[in-house]
Structure 1
Amino acid sequence: MLQIDQLTKTFGAKTAVKAATFTVEKPAMIGIIGRSGAGKSTLLRMLNCLTEVSAGTIMFDGVDVTALRGAAKRNWQSQCAMIFQQFNLVPRMDVVSNVLHGILNRRSTLATMFNLYPDEDIHKAIAILDRLGIAEHAPKRAEALSGGQQQRVAIARALMQDPKIILADEPIASLDPMNAQVVMQSLRQIHEEDGRMVIANLHTLDTARRYCDRVIGMRDGKIVFDGTPDQLTTGVARDIYGADETFSEAATSTEIETLNAEVVKLAEVAESV
């Protein structure tokens, strides 16, 4: 389905992504991990055509995405929905209208100006919100919701596009562990029930192992690991993050039990000093 070949992005003298190459033959849930600045976000932005490619190709179902322009490019972006860390909602607008923004590119300018949508689209938006467990918040302003709820609204907006691929750029980075798990479970459910490809940039190893079928590790713009969650050992993680033997997975965990255990451990160390 998706073929990435020698994908490269340079910003002046700096190379953010270096000859990234991988193939996804069927819908899967893929996690991309690596330290800040590894090139994860730039890679996703190239896939969505938000960032221009310096070299290499992106092929999807036989179509060269890197060659798309104008309406064809906008059509691809509707098929390749993007979810951001900071939600990118309109705070003072109600939740259902934020979800309906997922189909703005299909609406006329006049309809968009007056926020006019067919009943069919409104019902679809509410059904998606219901699927994500937040339909009761449909009439509320987006700013009235918690961070986890707002991220689910962003997911609903992406689903409103009926995309073939969902790209999630650090979707849980600003969430507490409980909301992080709810959001990741929602993305996993969408992959399993809809058969959609989901590619998510993640900053925690336990999340990648728990929710993803495949994990890609990036370091300094290069793909240095591509395998199953079981193959993502602590040693491999150290190599991906460029860390030494003091590297602790618990420090990046989103699991509540792990976090509690780490707090207890730190408290015990403090008492012994």
Structure 2
Amino acid sequence: MLVFDKLTKRFGANTAVDNVSFTVDRPMMIGIIGASGAGKSTLLRMMNRLTDASSGALAFEGQNVLALKGAAVRAWQSQCAMIFQQFNLVPRMDVVSNVLHGTLNRRSTLATLFNLYPQADIHRAIDILERLGIADHAAKRAEALSGGQQQRVAIARALMQDPKIILADEPIASLDPMNAQIVMDALRRIHEEDGRTVIANLHTLDTARQYCDRVIGMRAGRVVFDGRPEQLTTGAARDIYGANAGFSEHATSTSIAALERAQPGLAPKIPA
């Protein structure tokens, strides 16, 4: 259903994504891991057409995504929704209106200008918020919510688009362990219950192993690992991160239990 063929992105003399090729043949939850600068975010941005590829091909259900222009790009972005690390909400706008922004690509300019939404869309937005456990906050300004709640609002906005693919770019990097777990649980349920493909850039190995059906490791723009979570051994992780024998997963663990073992009584925020 989704085919990457030598997808490449260059920024001047630097190659951010280098000849990436892999196929997704069914809906699944995929984790992309790698050190900062490995090309993970650039890969997702090319998928969503926020960044143009330098070369290569990307096809979804036989459609050449990279050849789309104008309204066709916006239609694709509705089918391939993006969730960002910093939520990208309108802080002073209420939660329901932020969720309803997921319908902007299919609304008229006049309706957008006057902030007019069909009752059916409003009810659907509230239903999605209920599903994510934050319907009680529907009338609040987005800025009044915690980081974990804001990320769930961002997920709700993506679901309003009724996408086939959800891309999540470091969705838990700025969250504490408890909220990270809530957000990842939500993404996993969306995959399992809706049959949507979820592709998430992640910065911790335990999260990738726990939630993903498949893990792709990137290093210097290239795919250096592609396998099942149980194949992601410490040795494989060293290769992905270019680390030596002193590499330890505990330093970046999102597991509350692991954090408690390392620092009893503390639950520090996950490093970005």
TM-score range, shorter chain: over 0.9
The gaps in structure 2 that reach 5 residues or longer are 265-272
The letter for the 1-side match of 2:88 is: N
> Is 1:254 matched up with 2:251?
no
Matches within 5 A, 1:261-272: 261-263=261-263
Q: Distance in 1 between the 2:56 and 2:106 partners?
A: 30
1:120 is matched with: 120
> Is 1:195 matched up with 2:195?
yes
Q: Distance in 1 between the 2:25 and 2:154 partners?
A: 27
Greater Cα offset, 2-11 or 255-264: 255-264
Q: How far is the alpha carbon of 1:12 from its aligned partner?
A: 0.2
2:225 is matched with: 225
Identical residues among aligned pairs (%): 77
Aligned residues: 264
Q: How far is the alpha carbon of 1:105 from its aligned partner?
A: 1.3
> Is 1:52 matched up with 2:67?
no
Choose 1 or 2 for highest CA Rg: 1
1:63 is matched with: 63
SS of 2:203's equivalent in the other structure is coil
1:172 is matched with: 172
TM-score (norm 1): 0.96
Q: How far is the alpha carbon of 1:30 from its aligned partner?
A: 0.0
The letter for the 2-side match of 1:98 is: N
Q: Distance in 2 between the 1:159 and 1:66 partners?
A: 23
Q: How far is the alpha carbon of 1:113 from its aligned partner?
A: 1.5
Q: Distance in 1 between the 2:64 and 2:177 partners?
A: 39
Q: How far is the alpha carbon of 1:106 from its aligned partner?
A: 1.1
Q: Distance in 1 between the 2:28 and 2:252 partners?
A: 24
SS of 2:112's equivalent in the other structure is helix
1:102 is matched with: 102
SS of 1:10's equivalent in the other structure is strand
CA distances 1:17-47 after superposition (whole Å, capped 9, x unpaired) = 0000000000000000000000000000000
The letter for the 2-side match of 1:96 is: V
2:30 is matched with: 30
Q: Distance in 1 between the 2:30 and 2:47 partners?
A: 14
> Is 1:213 matched up with 2:213?
yes
SS of 1:235's equivalent in the other structure is helix
The letter for the 1-side match of 2:118 is: P
Q: How far is the alpha carbon of 1:262 from its aligned partner?
A: 1.6
2:239 is matched with: 239
Q: Distance in 2 between the 1:263 and 1:34 partners?
A: 25
CA distances 1:187-216 after superposition (whole Å, capped 9, x unpaired) = 000000000000000000000000000000
The letter for the 2-side match of 1:134 is: I
2:21 is matched with: 21
1:12 is matched with: 12
Q: How far is the alpha carbon of 1:260 from its aligned partner?
A: 1.3
The letter for the 2-side match of 1:78 is: S
SS of 1:167's equivalent in the other structure is strand
2:82 is matched with: 82
The letter for the 2-side match of 1:86 is: Q
The letter for the 1-side match of 2:26 is: K
Q: How far is the alpha carbon of 1:108 from its aligned partner?
A: 1.3
1:159 is matched with: 159
Q: How far is the alpha carbon of 1:137 from its aligned partner?
A: 0.3
Q: 4+ residue stretches of structure 1 with deviation over 3 A?
A: none
TM-score (norm 2): 0.96
Q: Distance in 1 between the 2:262 and 2:65 partners?
A: 45
Q: How far is the alpha carbon of 1:9 from its aligned partner?
A: 0.1
Q: Distance in 2 between the 1:210 and 1:130 partners?
A: 25
Over the aligned positions, Cα root-mean-square deviation in angstroms equals: 0.6
The letter for the 2-side match of 1:172 is: I
CA distances 1:232-264 after superposition (whole Å, capped 9, x unpaired) = 000000110011111110111000110111225
The letter for the 2-side match of 1:131 is: R
The letter for the 1-side match of 2:157 is: R
